[in-house]
Structure 1
Amino acid sequence: MHRAGIFRSSVLVDIVNYVGIPLLAIYLYSMFVFPWIDGRGSWTHVQAVWDRWQTLNAGALAFLASLIAFNIAKFNESVQREREFVAAKSFLPSTLSTLMEYCSRSARVLQVLWEANGQPPTAPLDQPDLPAGYREVFSNCIRHADPQVGSYLSTILVRLQVHDARLRDAVAEGADAHGLRVDRYSLIAYLYRLGELYILIGNLFGFARAEAPFHSKDLNWEAFRNAYGVLDVEVDDFFIDDNMNLRAFTQRGLARAGNSQNA
């Protein structure tokens, strides 16, 4: 609500500036330039014009004072929002680090499920938990960030929830001796989304540490290849057939997003 209030007041000030500044320019010309031209430099004529339009002059001065006050308030709100965002962002680097560790642990679980191939896993399924407090850190950053940054953080937050829910279901199915287990087709999709999530999180580090401006990088094969490598996911090991394997699935995903690059 606070962020929405700031946004509405900022838009209101922009509208007032858009309408008011041209009107003030017309007023200044009409009151301080044209009378000299019309009176051919006669000071008496200029004074007569000002005297005739005293009410308008008083209103124009009041409007100018209001316009200045609105812009000062807008500037102060912007400065305050920036301070609050800097304070919220200070917790972001450590949160991102724990999220990347969560992704690494998730990758290990998915590999165990892949190796089980629909059978009861021989290795333990260590379900990773999302780090405590990450929602609050993200929420505070989203509340005070610019729309572009807020949208990016919201995307990560949503995809984290989806991934965690899918992983928990997969682990629960794997632990059930008589239940259905996640198939390899689904695991390839999960690994692709995990790689995407890892890239999105990693792209934030420079910005979170105030080392670089925010920049939403395009996803490409090289970024995915590096992410899979860091997650200890051997791309060629996740192969069902020529059409359904991690490499081909990733490239199809990139092609749909318009960012396809040759591997």
Structure 2
Amino acid sequence: MLLYEHPLSSYAQKVKIALREKGVAFSAELPETFGTGRSDGPFAQANPRTEVPVLVDGEVAIFESTVILEYIEERWPEPPLLPRDPAARARARMTEEVCDTQYEAVNWGFGEILWFRRASGALADHLRGQAAAQTRTLQDWLAGRLGEAEWFGGASFGWADAAAAPMVNRSVHYGLGPGVGSPLARWHARVRERPAVAETFREFDAAAARMAEAADLYTTGGRRREYRDHRLEWMVKSGGVEVVLAGLRDRTIRFPWPDPSPDPRPDGEAP
């Protein structure tokens, strides 16, 4: 069992937590071509989007973290992460959906400023403020779904906990964690003590400590950050459209597969 991943990827963390909760052995590998957009090699063959995570189980290669989570749940049904009740299952999946889209995008955007220095001065302050305000909104929403329960699914750790854990933990890492003593903060303290989560968070911490070294690769064109779906939306709606334009100009960002066709006009000149 091979998992193409990056320890900082919240999507990969979600999958690793699920595998470890179920006691499934796997080896983790950071693809050599990660962040380059290259379409050659086994990683691109397994996922033409060249996004992590990708789970390779024998002859089966699966990408997209939710699809991987569903595969894990069906392939190794015990212990279950999804509740049996259809309404409870839908509730867990909705929590995951918001974490995977809106929450991940806010965390990602904050990281663009903190780690990759995409903006400075007043623009950086503005984007950080936007991320902080939106994080509070999302954490309030999660707190409402959690209520006074021990886990998002009630009495048992499950699907929604695995999805929310990397998102809230990254906010804590950024200094944007839930209020001390709040139900969500107490949940975070509980979840980080679970062996499957603790191991995954240790890997995150080790990778985060090296981000200053890696950041130069993404600001000089050696690697390019992928501006996709909700991430691109976040940067634009939060006031960072010039960050996107600068990244396109300097070729330090990229968009998802399939790559755009070459501009047939001489030198890409305007018509």
TM-score range, shorter chain: under 0.3
Q: Which has the higher helix share?
A: 1
TM-score by length of 1: 0.28
Larger of the two Rg values belongs to structure: 1
TM-score by length of 2: 0.27
Q: Which has the higher strand share?
A: 2
